[in-house]
Chains A and B, each alone.
Chain A
C-alpha cells in the first residue's frame, strides 16, 4: 500500500514538476479558458452589437473629459509574458522609455510570469480597474483573442504586441512576421553555404508558432532555392543553449561533414557554436539564428555567429505608442501593422552593439 502510494506520489510529482518548469504552458490552462469563453460567448455576441452603436457617443464623452482636465493622465497597463525572459524584458524597457515621450500617459507593468491564467487574471483586473489602454504581450494569442475582442467591444482598447493577434478583429496589433525573419537570414545562408552543403537544423519547442514560422521562411528562401543542400538532421532543442550544444556534439560524431547550423533562435545556434569550437571544427562552419539579442550580437562581433535577424524592440515601442496615441485621441479604433525584421551580420554589428549598450543589455 505504502509503495503504491509512493509510486503515485512520484507520478504526481513528475507531472507536477514538468508542468511547473516546462516552458510550454498551454496544456492545463486552455481548458479553463475554454470554459470561461463558453460562458461569456452569448453575452459577448449581444454586447458586441449594442456597443457598436453606442461606441461613438462614448468616445466623444471620453474626449470631452480628457479635454476638460489637462492634467489627467491616461492609465496604460503593460502585461508582458515573462519579465525573466530576455526579449520580453527588453521590450518592456523600450516601452517604458517610449511612454516618457507622451506626458499625458503613464504605464504600469503587471508580469504574467509565463503563466497564462495569471495573464488572463491581470487582463481582467486591468479592465475592471478602468485602465485606458492595455498592451498585451500575449502568451497564447489564439486562446486570448476572443476575450480581448470582448473587452475592446466593451470599451477598453487593447493592443497585442510581438505576437499575432490570434484572430482578434478589434484589437491593435504590432507584430513581426516569423516567416520574414526566417527569410531574411535564409537569404544570407543561401549565399554562404557551399555547393552541396550539409546542414543541421535546431527547432524550438514542438508546436511553437515562431519556430514553425521561421522554419517556413528558411524553407522558402533557402531549401527551396538551393535544392543541392542536404539536411542531415532536424531536432527540437526547446530554445535552450545547452540542448543545442548536446545535439551538435552528437551530430559531429555522426556526420563527418557539417557546413552550417540553421537554428530557429540564437541561443541554440550559440550552443552548437560552443560545441563546434570545443571540437575545433567551427572554422569551416556557418551558424544562423534569429532574435538578435546581446549574446548573438557579441558573437557575430567575435566572428562566431554568421547572421541573425532581430526583432527590434525599440521599433515595436515607437510604432506601438504611435498607434496608442491615435487610438486615445479617437482618430482610429485600431491598427494592425508588421515590423520588418532587420538583418544583423558582420557589416552592421557595431551599430547593434551600440543599441544594446544603450538599452543596458551590454554593460
Chain B
C-alpha cells in the first residue's frame, strides 16, 4: 500500500515533466525532423525570451503577486540598451545600462506594491503603460536598425555550438534555482507567498522581500528584452508587448500556484518548453493557422488540469491517512 502511494507521489511530483516527455515522444513519432539537433535548438531559441521572463514571473507569483509589466519592460530596457550601444559601441556598458533600467522599474513597482501595499495587478498594469510610453517618447514610434554587434546577445554561438540564447536560459535557470532553493531570500519568498501574516510573525521583513523580488524581476525582464532585441537584430519596443501573458501561461503550466507559495524554476522551464514544443510540432506538421490556436488553448488547459488534479489527489490521500 505504502509503496503504491509512493509511486503515485513521484508521478504527481513530476506530472509536468511527464506531459513534456509524452509530447516529445509523440512529436518524434509524428515528425522525423523533430528530434534533429537543429530543431531542438530552434525550440530552445524560440522559447528563450519567454522562459527568461517566466522565471521572473514564477518568482513573483510565488510571493503571491503578479508582474504584468514584464513584456513592456523587456521592450523598453532592450531598446534603450540598443540605443546606448549604437551611440557608444560598448556592449558591457549598454548591457549594464539595460539591467539598471530594469532594476529601476522593479524598484518603482516594489515601492508601490511592497511599501504602499497597492495591488500588484494594478501597479504593474499601469507600469505597462508607463514603460512603453518611456521608450516611445524617445523613439517617437521609430524602430532602431543597424544595431551592429548588439545582435550577439541573441544570435552568437558560444563555443561554436551553443546558441547564446540557450546559454541565457541555462544561466538564468541556474540563478533562479539557486535563488529559490539555496538562499534564505528564496525561502522567504515562499513563506511570504504562502501566508504573509505568518511570515511577519515568523520575523520575515515582508516589505523588503517583496521589494527585492520586484527589482530582480525587473532585471530579468531587461535581460530577456536585450536577448530579444539581439535575436531580432533591431530595437523594436513594441515586440516586448504580450510576453507577460505568455510568461504567466508558461509559469502556470509549470505548476506554479496562483495563490502563492508554490512553484519551481525547473517547473517553469518545463512549462515553457511544453508550449514551445507544441508550437514547433504544429508548424512542422503544417497545421493550419486557426486550428493551431484552438489546439494550443485546449492543450494548455489540459496540462494545467492534469497538474492540478494530480496535486489534489495527493493531498486528499494525506489528509485521510492522518
Contact = CB atoms under 8 A, between A and B. Distances in A.
Interface of A: 2-3, 6-7, 9-10, 13-14, 16-18, 20-23, 82-86, 88-90, 93, 203, 206, 232-236, 240-242, 245-247, 249-251, 253-254, 267, 270-271, 274, 278-279, 293-295, 298, 360-362
Contacts of B249: 14
A249 B45 CA distance: 9
Interface of B: 31, 33-34, 36, 38-39, 42, 45-46, 49, 66, 68, 71, 121, 125, 128, 132, 136, 140-143, 145-146, 155, 228, 231-234, 236-239, 241-242, 244-245, 248-249, 252, 258-259, 279-280, 283-286, 289-290, 292
16 contacts: A3-B259, A14-B245, A14-B249, A84-B237, A85-B238, A90-B141, A93-B140, A206-B289, A233-B286, A245-B231, A246-B46, A246-B283, A247-B283, A274-B233, A294-B143, A360-B140
A218 to B, nearest CB: 16
A6 B259 contact: yes
Contacts of A6: 258-259
Contacts of A247: 283
A249 B46 contact: yes
Given A20-B125, A241-B236, A253 B284 contact: yes
Contacts of A83: 136, 140-141
Given A89-B140, A254-B33, A13 B66 contact: yes
Contacts of A14: 245, 248-249
Nearest to A301: B146
A21 B245 contact: yes
B231 A242 contact: yes
Contacts of A84: 132, 136, 141, 237-238
B245 A86 contact: no
Contacts of B39: 250, 253
Contacts of B228: 242
B252 A10 contact: yes
A146 B62 CA distance: 50
Judged by DSSP, the binding face of B is helix
Given A6-B259, A13-B121, A271 B232 contact: yes
Nearest to A241: B232
A2 B259 contact: yes
B66 to A, nearest CB: 7
Nearest to B39: A253
Given A18-B245, A235-B283, 12 more contacts: A2-B259, A6-B258, A21-B128, A83-B136, A88-B141, A90-B142, A93-B140, A250-B284, A254-B31, A254-B286, A279-B38, A295-B234
A14 B140 CA distance: 29
Nearest to B72: A21
A139 to B, nearest CB: 15
B239 A21 contact: no
A76 B322 CA distance: 76
Contact of A240 (B155, B239, B283, B289): B239
Contacts of B283: 233, 235, 246-247, 250-251, 254
